[in-house]
Amino acid sequence: MNAKLIRYLCVPATVLALLVVAPLVRADDAAPAKDKPLSKAKEKYDADKDGKLSDEEKAKMKEDAKEKRDELKKEELEKYDVNHNGKLDPEEKAKLHADREAEKAARRAEKEKLKAEKEAMKTEKEATKDAQK
């Protein structure tokens, strides 16, 4: 009888222990995430170098991002607004999107080319090493 009683009490006790301990473990796991180093882009805005962005620093970062977007939009409008009506018509947007896709494809091709060259150099280096043995 004691074995049955122990078995019946172990399951609820285990569940209760997990319910109590699990939130504590999650809290410990979450703590280091707060101490993550800032990305290089965000480091640029960390004026006081405390590893965190204050509200003013975040506002500056957002302002700069908006200025950059506005500048890009202006450049795209100048380049693709063929009829000079101040907005991109469907045909002009299609040309913009086609050019963007072409640029992406060119970047991907360049990345693949560099990857292949790196792999060839690695293979050549291994072959030279094997030949020396």
pLDDT tier at 50, thresholds 50, 70, 90: confident
Secondary structure (DSSP) of 85-107: SSS--HHHHHHHHHHHHHHHHHH
To the question of pTM greater than 0.85 for the whole model, the response is no
Q: 């302002």: which residue's tokens?
A: 63
Name the residue with higher pLDDT: 28 or 37.
Answer: 37
